[in-house]
Amino acid sequence: MDTQTSLETGHTDGPFADRSFIEFFAGIGLIHESIASFGWKCLYANDNDPKKAQAYKNNFPSVEIDERDIQKVPVEDLPAAQLATASFPCIDLSQAGGRKGIHAAHSGVVWSFLEHIESLTKLGKAPKFLLLENVAGLLTLHEGASIDILLHEISRLGYAIDLVQVDAKHFIPQARNRVFVIGVKDPELGGSAEMPDTHIRRYKVRQVYDRNRSLPWHFFDFPDLPIRQLQLSDVLLELPDDDPRWWDAERMAYFWDHLEVDHRTRLNNLVKAKATMRITAVRRGRRRGLREQIFNLRADDLASCLRTPKGGSSIQFVVQLTRGDVKVRRILGIESGRLQGVGLPSLSPDFVFPQSEQDALFGFGDAVCVPAVRWVFKHSIESYLTEVKIGAPEQTRMDFEVAV
């Protein structure tokens, strides 16, 4: 470890001192899974859902996860660390939750996170980096008021800011459009740089920048997004024809009956062509004023964004065609995990899945996509540290060009 650097950052406790993090809204641990492989060590994790905390412990037994409500955690209980992460609840920011805003009961806990950062700063224990993650809808929520106030608060706490929008579909066959806010406490950053016009900073991100040009922006040098290697067929399980999870004749009749008209035509054409393929489907409808929900098929070899399976429209289905014969079933917990980038031969093969099917669907529905987080992390915080020559322990590094 570089002693000089440790003294500069104020963290001198142990071999991972320069790559230590505390994480809030830790869930089942996919932020942890994303960044631990760069040699980062978690010093503290918090999440008040006992089932998720158990899933977290199964993977990271050395971290004692704090299960208190973040609002009840005294700052004295938080260790000094180089990074603090918050993939905070999205309920109040998304359509499904009524877009109540960043001050509403669920998503508003992000302010507790920022209060902790402020208190740590007063105690001389400010993390050098912040990483926040949430749904892309945050960019436009209430004409941008939610993201604007969030960025202003992060800059008030002394951080230069980057903001990127990354869809997991570039890494994994899942459409999952997310924003990442990266904060860096470095007085040399945050000048008057122009936001580069790249794929991850187009349209809505640029609008945020244009409204908030006076903020201390720092634009990391991200490469082009990768070309995805994994297809839906790499992620979905092959179940035997007689597996009881395939729907019976009655449910299949319901499915055909409730397919969106255009989609029924498409599926009929595939049946006539005796196609062999797998596609995903979701139920949609109530918000468009229909009395019953209807099934929509995807046409792009992707799964739709995973969500916690609380209502009918948040459940996904697999539609399998074998020489024109159609079978349908619900998506499985193991497939949800793979769609978040764990449990695949090339991606976190040893990740321990939550034990029950329901816990897996809930845990992964709410989680982050590991290779997408790794990509963002590698090209921002990791590249910053590499430039200032703080080496990660070599034995814990992976070849992420292969992994992502």
Ligand X SMILES: C[S@@+](CC[C@H](N)C(=O)[O-])C[C@H]1O[C@@H](n2cnc3c(N)ncnc32)[C@H](O)[C@@H]1O
The secondary structure of the chain in percent helix, strand, coil, rounded to multiples of 5, reads: 40, 15, 45
Q: Which of 52, 99, 169, 185 binds ligand X (CB under 6 A)?
A: 52
348 binds ligand X (CB under 6 A): no
Among 366, 375, 378, 380, binds ligand X (CB under 6 A): 366
66 interacts with ligand X by CB under 6 A: no
* Under rule CB under 6 A, residue 69 binds ligand X: yes
Angstrom distance (rounded) from CA 337 to CA 368: 10
Among 70, 93, 136, 328, binds ligand X (CB under 6 A): 70
What is the spatial order of strands in the sheet that 325-330 belongs to?
Answer: 294-297, 277-284, 316-322, 325-330
Question: Which one of 31, 281, 361, 403 is in contact with ligand X (CB under 6 A)?
Answer: 31
Distances (CA, A) of 210 to 56, 59, 140, 201, 204: 39, 42, 13, 12, 10
Cα(295)–Cα(36) distance, rounded to whole angstroms? 39
Q: Which stretch binds ligand X (CB under 6 A): 46-54, 178-186, 207-215, 235-243?
A: 46-54
- Closest distance between ligand X and the C-beta of residue 371, in Å? 13
Asked whether position 46 contacts ligand X by CB under 6 A, the answer is yes
Q: Does 368 interact with ligand X (rule: CB under 6 A)?
A: yes
Pick the stretch among 27-35, 223-231, 244-252, 353-361 that binds ligand X (CB under 6 A).
Answer: 27-35
The answer to whether residue 87 forms part of the interface with ligand X (CB under 6 A) is yes
Alpha-carbon radius of gyration of the chain: 22
In whole angstroms, how close is the CB of 123 to ligand X at the nearest point? 21
- DSSP letters of 370-386? HHHHHHHHIIIIIHHHH
Interface with ligand X, residue 367, by CB under 6 A: yes
Q: Name residues contacting ligand X, limited to 316-345 (CB under 6 A).
A: none
Question: Distance between CA atoms of 286 and 63, rounded to whole angstroms?
Answer: 42
- 30 counts as binding ligand X under rule CB under 6 A: yes
Contact indicator for 134, 128 with CB cutoff of 8 Å:
no
Cβ atoms of 201 and 224 closer than 8 Å: no
Which residue has the closest beta carbon to ligand X?
27
**Residues at the interface with ligand X (CB under 6 A):** 25-31, 46-49, 52, 69-71, 87, 89-90, 109, 366-368
